Structure formats: C-alpha cells, structure tokens
Amino acid sequence: MLSASSTPYEARLAARSGGFDAPTADVAPGFVQGNLAVLPRALAYDFLLFCQRNPKPCPLIGVSEPGDPKMPALGRDLDIRTDLPRYRIWENGTLVSEPTDVSAFWRDDLVAFLIGCSFSFEEALLAARVPVRHIDQGCNVPMYRTSIPTTPAGCFSGPLVVSMRPLAPADLVRAIQVTSRFPSVHGAPIHVGDPAAIGIADIAAPDYGDPVEIRPGEVPVFWACGVTPQSVIASVRPDFCITHAPGYMLVTDIPNGSLAV
C-alpha cells in the first residue's frame, strides 16, 4: 500500500506488481516524475532532435538504449515496461489499449524517451508560497493548444501546448524567479497575460485538463507543457508508439532539487 512517505522505488515496485493503478501526483513527493514516449528506432533521431530544438516543452530527462527497457540512471532497477501504473498503446495514431504493463508489446527496436513534467516546479512554487490554483481546486491543470509553432525536426512538427496558472502580480514575479531555476522541467513562463495573443480563444475551455478560476486582479501565466510532444506524436501517427496514461507518470529516484540551477 503506497503512502505519502513511500519511496520512488516502492512506488515503481507497486506499479510493477499491479498493486498501484492511480495517478502519481501525490506519490513520492520531492522526486522527479516524467512523461513517457516510446518510439521505434527509425523515428528516434527525428524525435531526439525535436526535443533538442524545443527544450521548453520537451525537456529530456533520459533516453534508453534501443530495445533496452532498463534506465538505471533514472532509478534503481527501473524497468520502463512495468514501472508506470498505466500506459497507452498507439497504432497509426489510434489509441488501441491502456494496459498496466507493456512487456507483451516490447520490441528490440523501441527507444524510451522520458520528458520532465511540471510537478517538479509546482513543488518549488508551493515551497515559495506561490499558490497553485488547480492544486487548491483539486483538479487537473488547464492546458491549451496555441498558435505558437514548435521548431520542426524531420517528421515532427505542430503547435506548442501550454499549461496555465493564474497569479496575482506579486506571485507572478516570484513564480518567474522560481521556475527560471528549473530549465530542465519547462523553466520560466513563455507568456503572461492576454490568451488571444498566443491563439487561445477561450481561456475557460482548455483543450486538455480542467478550467480553473481566474480571480479579479490575477493574470493568466503560461508555461510550455509536456503534452506538446504527445500532441506532436499524435499528428505524425507512427505505426507504433507507447506513452504513459495522462497523470500516470514514471516516478524516478532523481530529487527535484538536483534539477535546480
């Protein structure tokens, strides 16, 4: 049974044994969690280059060897096939199943990409007493497709997806300072204020996640979002792809603090 004091390794073992099948937001606080994208080696160069050219939405935490499901640099005994609580299997861009273990789907040519997520900087925001609205409201962060293009690489291209957190001006300043220290998990905001300026027609209707309240005097603050690579992969429709199920992340042994500059 997992608790707030469970270690990352305990969380991974629980996922591996089938005893843990839930979102990971509250699991093993203090440690980096990651978005997963698994692609055939034939697409890996283009995707790696896409991440290099778009480090704000696609901050790479690790890349596996082709066919090797172990990623020891990210965690003790870590196995990409079993250690996330839930996955998504995609074929030609269509979601075909949501298993809790992908061992049966693994192939010798698969490369796993782990991409940082905003849990790391949200923890730093809370520690700096910057309120995070969707956490206070107990819902998912609102996310939006924008009119900002990513920098293409090979077959990968598409719009930047952003997450939004409304902030009072004093909190905005502190939030920029705090998240600037975490360039490897999305870093500083990419936009502050008018949603229309980045192609968001209706701030109350996010493309992913849940809407949150924006109070008088607050401004919406937008960060590059790790949903971007999934959105981009979906538009490329590779013949085969594995991702995590939204919110069901890989919990690593890397302390959040080690990412700060």
Q: Give the binding site for a copy of itself (CB under 8 A).
A: 44-45, 48-49, 51-53, 60, 63, 73, 151, 180-181, 183, 187-188, 261
Q: Supply the minimum distance, in Å, between the C-beta of residue 119 and a copy of itself.
A: 20
| Closer of 33 and 64 to a copy of itself (Cβ) | 64
Nearest to 230 by CA among 152, 160, 163, 134: 160
| Closer of 51 and 130 to a copy of itself (Cβ) | 51
DSSP state of 156: B
First-to-last CA distance in the chain?
A: 35
Q: Supply the minimum distance, in Å, between the C-beta of residue 248 and a copy of itself.
A: 25
Q: Supply the minimum distance, in Å, between the C-beta of residue 222 and a copy of itself.
A: 18
| Cβ–Cβ under 8 Å, residues 203 and 218 | no
| Closer of 126 and 260 to a copy of itself (Cβ) | 260
Report the alpha-carbon distance of residue 135 to residue 242 in Å, rounded: 28
Q: At what angle do helices 119-127 and 169-180 cross, to 10 degrees?
A: 130
Neighbours of 22 (CB within 10 A): 14
| Closer of 23 and 183 to a copy of itself (Cβ) | 183
What DSSP assignment string belongs to 83-147?
A: SSS-EEEEETTEEEE--S--GGG--TTEEEEEEE-THHHHHHHHHTT---HHHHHTSPPPEEEEE
Q: Supply the minimum distance, in Å, between the C-beta of residue 98 and a copy of itself.
A: 29
| Closer of 106 and 182 to a copy of itself (Cβ) | 182
Q: Supply the minimum distance, in Å, between the C-beta of residue 241 and a copy of itself.
A: 18
| Cβ–Cβ under 8 Å, residues 83 and 250 | yes
Q: Supply the minimum distance, in Å, between the C-beta of residue 48 and a copy of itself.
A: 5
| Closer of 47 and 119 to a copy of itself (Cβ) | 47
Q: Supply the minimum distance, in Å, between the C-beta of residue 151 and a copy of itself.
A: 7
| Cβ–Cβ under 8 Å, residues 117 and 209 | no
| Closer of 174 and 181 to a copy of itself (Cβ) | 181
| Closer of 25 and 60 to a copy of itself (Cβ) | 60
Q: Supply the minimum distance, in Å, between the C-beta of residue 60 and a copy of itself.
A: 6
The encoded tokens of residue 57 equal 């939405």
| Cβ–Cβ under 8 Å, residues 117 and 33 | yes
Distance of CA 114 to the CA centre of its chain: 9
